[in-house]
Each structure stands twice: as C-alpha cells, then as structure tokens.
Amino acid sequence: MLDTLDVEKGCRLSCISAPSKAESILTETVVDELHTEGIAKDVDQTDEAFPDGGWSAWLTVFGAFLALVCTFGQLNSFGTFQTWYSEHQLSHLPPSTISWIGSLQLWVFFFSGGLVGRIFDAYGPRIIMIPGTAILVCSIMITSVCREYYQYILGQGLLFGLGVGMLFYPSLSSISTHFKKYRATALGIALAGSGVGGVVYPIMLQRLFTQCGFGWGVRISGFISLVLCASASWMVTSRLAPRPSSDPWFPTKTFRDVNFMLLVFGSIFISLGLFIPNFYIVTYAIDHHVSPSIAFYVLAVLNAGGILGRVAPPYLSDVFGRFNLLVPCAFFAGLSILVFWIFTDTLLTIMLFAVTYGFFSGAFNALIVPCIAQISEIREIGARIGMLYSILSFPSLAGGPAAGALLRLNHGSYVGMIALSGSTVVFGSLFMLWARLRIDRRILACV
C-alpha cells in the first residue's frame, strides 16, 4: 500500500516538474540561439571574418570591373551621344533639352540604389544582376532603332539607367563583404572599370557611328555588354548568406548617424558640380574650335585620368586613411574646375584640364563608397550605399539642364556654368572635412 502511494506521489511530482524542465530547456534554447546569432553578427564584423583575398574575393573584384566597364563606362560616355544627337537625329533640339536623356539616365540609376541595395542585403547579388543584364542589353537594342525624342527618353534614359543600377550596386556591395583592410584598394580596382569603359566607349562609338552607322554601332556595343555583364553576373558573389531583414526600408537610425548624413550632404553638392564637366566637356571643346572628330578624345582623356584616380588614391587610403584622402581629392576636383577649366582655350590646355579633373573626380568616386562602408555595419552597407545614391538622384536630374540653362542665359559663355560647377564641389568638400574631424579631430590620425 505504501509502495503504491509512493508511486502515485512520484508520478504527481513528475507531472508538476516536467513543464518546469521543458520551460527551462526552451529558455536555454532561445538563449543559445540569441547568443549564437550575436556571435554570428560579431563574427561578420571582425577582421578575421574578412578574407581580404582569395579566389572568390578577387573573382568578385574582376566581375565588378567588367560590369562597370560596360555600364558606368557607357554612362560616363553620354557626352558622345549628346554631340552626335546634336548634329544628327535631334539637331532640331537645343543641347539643354537633349541633356535630359543623360540626366534621366543618371536619375534612374541613382534613385534605384535604395531598392537595389536593400534587396542585395537580403538576397545577395545574383538575383539582381541577371535581370539587370537583360534590361541593360534590351535598352541598348531599343536605342539603336529610336527616332523620336520620347523614344530616347524611354529607351536610353529610363531603361538603361535601371539596368546600370541593377549591375552597379550589387557589384560594389559584394566587394565590401570580402575585404576590410584592403577594401578601398579592391573597390578602386573595380571602379577603374568605369574609367576604362569611359576611355574605350567614346572612341569606339564614334568610329562605329561613322563606319557602321548609328544603329549598328549601338547594337555592337549591346552585344559587347551582353558578354561582359553575363560574365560579371556569374563571377560576383557575396560572402554573407542571404538573410531577409525585418527592418524598415528607411531606418531612422541611419538618418541619426551624423557622420553618414554629412557624407550625404557633401555628396549632393559635389555630385551636382561633377555632372557638368562630364556632360559638357566635349561641347566646350567643339565651341573652342576643336574639330568634332578630335573632341571625342577629350572625354576619353578625362576618363583615362579617372583610371589612375580610382586606383592610386584608394590604395594609399588603405595606409593613410580613407577620409584623409577623400577630403583633399574632392577639394582639388572643385579647385581644378575654378582655376584651370575656366582659362582653357586650346586643345592642349583642355586635354590637361581633362586629365587633372578626371584624376581627382575619379578618386572621389572611388573613395566615397569605402568611407561609407567604414562607418557602417556589414549588413547595412548595401542599403546605405543605395540610400546615398538614391538621394543623389535629385541633383543628377538638375545638373545637366541647369548648366544648359546657364549656358543659354549667358549667350554661349561657359563662365557661369564653370563657376557653378567648381563652387558646389568645393563647398561639398567642406562637409567631408566636417565628417572626418567628427570621427577624429587629430590632424595626423589615420581615419
């Protein structure tokens, strides 16, 4: 009888204690999962988590280089199209109206950054780059058969800008997941692709237009883009596993990051000024008695200077500090416009300005991305880079037409346009200096 009571008592005690044990096990499991997730997040941020080299990392750099050759390289070469349109298909329109095609390209490219960057952080690069390749090639083929202004706006302006954005942002953001110590160098090598494309495409397109006609010249560039972008889509990979985020699309903590917002404000003014030489350097050369066949090479020289600017300063910045190189490069880009471009009146001086300006503007474009990555968490890099470029979509839309309007108001004089370009770049560099001093006020600190 006593044995039976003991058994029943033991069963009741077991039933009471079982839920407590289950709750304890569940609590321990949740704590372990949170601890593991925290460790994974910390591991993502540690220096040991970044290979800073290896087959996958450098293949990503090369793939990004190829993507930028045919995307941003063609974007930088719109001056070639603008000059051709002014003399052929759209000769009945003023330059300021034609420049809206290039402005729309840039606006769509920049504005797509917020969405593309967020998708990249959640799902990786390939799901974006493959359809981006299809959109880019389709837009080029459509441009080859366009005849009316609105057709160029839709095909070359809207579609091409979207395709460039879907290839540009995942490529650069992927590099940042593989590199930390040599991040600026790796990004600079990839961004040099835009300079290479900017050298090759103006010369190639000008010769194709004259020898094969506009239609087939554009189509040939489209086939080249198909090969390069398809290869890039296969090569570019992210070190991070896909992980959808529940954070809002525009997290308020990003806007409370003062250093990031200073970079944003500075980039707005700098970008507004930098668009103008890229749009009008060829037209400026022609108006200063340089033959159109030679003027195309001015844009190529500008982009050639950008190749060195996208490689040398980023390499030095990994040693001496990325912000320490970003600030002077932005300042000297604006200064070269104010004190050099305004006094050029021969082919030689225009070429010298083009290579000088190309060097410093290329350096700024190559350094702004690693500076953003430096002050961001690894899972936020894609979204923050995309957010920056989305905000820059608005000055990109205004830069070309505003410069064209100034040119028209000044009866063909470039002085007002050049003054606007240079002063906005110099003013924007002061915001970069402010961000650098907020991070570390010591002048000789490596920041």
pLDDT bracket for residue 150 (50, 70, 90): very high
What's the rounded mean pLDDT across residues 298-318? 90
Based on the fold, state whether residues 157 and 252 are members of the same structural domain.
no
What is the phi/psi pair of residue 94, to 5°? -70, 155
242 CB-side CA count, 13 A? 10
Based on the fold, state whether residues 394 and 358 are members of the same structural domain.
yes
Q: Where does a domain end: 245, 266, 290?
A: 245
Q: Where does a domain end: 201, 218, 245?
A: 245
How many Å apart are CA 105 and CA 76, to the nearest integer? 11
> CA–CA distance from 29 to each of 18, 257, 351, 376 (Å)?
16, 35, 67, 31
What value, to the nearest 5°, has the Cα angle with vertex 226 and ends 224 and 232? 105
- CATH code where residue 396 lies: 1.20.1250.20
Based on the fold, state whether residues 311 and 340 are members of the same structural domain.
yes
How many Å apart are CA 398 and CA 74, to the nearest integer? 20
Cβ pair 407, 415 in contact under 8 A:
no
Looking at residue 35, its pLDDT comes to: 41
Based on the fold, state whether residues 89 and 215 are members of the same structural domain.
yes
The whole domain housing 259 covers 247-446
pLDDT > 70 fraction of the chain, expressed in percent and rounded: 86
Looking at residue 60, its pLDDT comes to: 95
Res 137 pLDDT > 50: yes
**1 or 392: whose pLDDT is higher?**
392
Block residue for tokens 């992980």: 243
Based on the fold, state whether residues 378 and 360 are members of the same structural domain.
yes
What's the rounded mean pLDDT across residues 328-332? 96
Residues 6+ apart with CB under 8 A from 265: 428, 431
pLDDT bracket for residue 20 (50, 70, 90): very low
Looking at residue 339, its pLDDT comes to: 92
262, two tokens = 């200073």
The SS3 assignment for 290 reads: coil
61, two tokens = 């750099």
How many Å apart are CA 192 and CA 198, to the nearest integer? 10
In the 8-state DSSP scheme, what is residue 257? -
How many Å apart are CA 315 and CA 333, to the nearest integer? 19
As separate numbers, helices (DSSP H) first and strands (DSSP E) second, the chain gives 19, 0
Based on the fold, state whether residues 217 and 259 are members of the same structural domain.
no
Cβ pair 166, 116 in contact under 8 A:
yes
Based on the fold, state whether residues 144 and 240 are members of the same structural domain.
yes
How many Å apart are CA 162 and CA 111, to the nearest integer? 9
CB neighbourhood size of 154 (10 A): 18
Based on the fold, state whether residues 57 and 188 are members of the same structural domain.
yes
How many Å apart are CA 393 and CA 273, to the nearest integer? 13
What's the rounded mean pLDDT across residues 312-327? 94
DSSP H or E run through 437: helix 415-439
252 CB-side CA count, 13 A? 0
What is the phi/psi pair of residue 332, to 5°? -70, -25
